[in-house]
Every structure is written in structure tokens, then in C-alpha cells.
Amino acid sequence: MSVRPASEFAQTSIPAPGIIGVDWEERVDFTRLRDYRTSRAREALENSDLGAVLVFESSNIRYLTATHIGTWGYNKTERWALLTRTGEPWVWDFGSAAKNHRMYSPWLLPEHSNGGNTGLQGAISPLSGLPRGPRRRSPRSSARRASPECHSVLMSLRYRCSASLRPPASTSVTASR
């Protein structure tokens, strides 16, 4: 039996980056990727008049927070993320996803991953009582727990949502039979 020259084998010293992590070569440096994305978002904030960026689209949430809950969760209006000029990224997500982020996303501060039905981006009126439940925090207590840098953003959003959803004083609702 003859020995084949090394050039006939598929292995090479040139890396073949893929999406699957392996122990024999460095493919994607995910820490570097997350840091790069955050720095680009911060740079865009610095070059703008904005104090923070609040995103609702799933790809933007993934870009800012490096969180992903699967394609089934794209644009379900129950997820959003916030990046302020000085703070770390925040993410609001489905309750089970928020818990998963706290457990398996060490690059996020645990208190920056929040879950629960928070009104579906204003689609549910605070007057309905539906966003509140036995195990859910009120928007006011969530805002109190938030860092000072995003407290005013959260309170401003809460005020705008509740003010825009209140019916005019002269409107009355009657049931028809």
C-alpha cells in the first residue's frame, strides 16, 4: 500500500470559517462581533441628536443585544431593545426568552433582560387592565428598577402611550344588542 501525499487530504492550514464553533480553529470571534456592533450603534448615537435608540424590529434587536429567539418570533411586537449613549443594551422579550437571556447571554446584564406582556407596543390600552397580571410588574415599578439613564425614556413612552390611547372625554361607549 502506498502513502498518499498530504496535498490529497482535505485538511489545510487555511481556515474555513463556518457558523459552527470548533476546537481546532478560530472561526467567528463572537465577543468581538458583539463589541463591534455595539460600538457602531454608539458611534451612530454620538453623531446624532438622540440620547438613546429604541428598536422594535427583530434584526435590530439582535444587532444591539445579540439575542435571538428563532424566526417564529420575528416582529411579533412583543420584543424591543434600548441602547443609551452611556449604558449597556436593554432587551424586553417574552418571559421565557428573557429568562433564557439572563441564563445564557453573559454579555447582557441580568437586570437588563426583562419579560412579560407590556402592552404590545401600545396596542393594548393601559385602561384595559390586561397588561397587569398576578406575576407581572406594573410599568411604573419596571421604570423604577431601570437605570437612571433610561428611566426618563421609559416614563416618556409610558406617558405618550397612555395619553394617546385615552378616549376623548365626550366619548361614551354603549353596547348594542
pLDDT tens per residue, range 134-162? 444 444 544 444 455 555 555 655 554 44
Within-domain flag for 65: yes
Element (H, E) at 174: none
Cβ–Cβ under 8 Å, residues 106 and 172: no
Within-domain flag for 120: yes
Closest C-alpha among 124, 46, 57, 49 to residue 85? 46
Confidence of residue 177 (pLDDT cuts 50, 70, 90): very low
Cβ–Cβ under 8 Å, residues 89 and 108: yes
Please compute Rg for the chain using Cα positions: 23
Domain with residue 154: its CATH number is 3.40.350
Place of cell 455595539: 38
pLDDT tens per residue, range 83-113? 999 899 999 988 888 999 999 999 999 999 9
Residue numbers of the domain that contains 33: 29-164
Within-domain flag for 171: no
Total number of domains constituting the chain: 1
Closest C-alpha among 144, 138, 147 to residue 88? 147
Within-domain flag for 160: yes
Confidence of residue 25 (pLDDT cuts 50, 70, 90): confident
Cβ–Cβ under 8 Å, residues 124 and 143: no
Within-domain flag for 96: yes
**Among the listed ranges 3-12, 32-41, 78-87, 108-117, which one has the minimum average pLDDT value?**
3-12
pLDDT at residue 118 in the model: 56
Within-domain flag for 95: yes
Residue 7 C-alpha cell reads as 496535498
Within-domain flag for 58: yes
Within-domain flag for 172: no
DSSP E strands: which ranges in the chain? 52-55, 80-84, 90-93, 113-115
Confidence of residue 37 (pLDDT cuts 50, 70, 90): very high
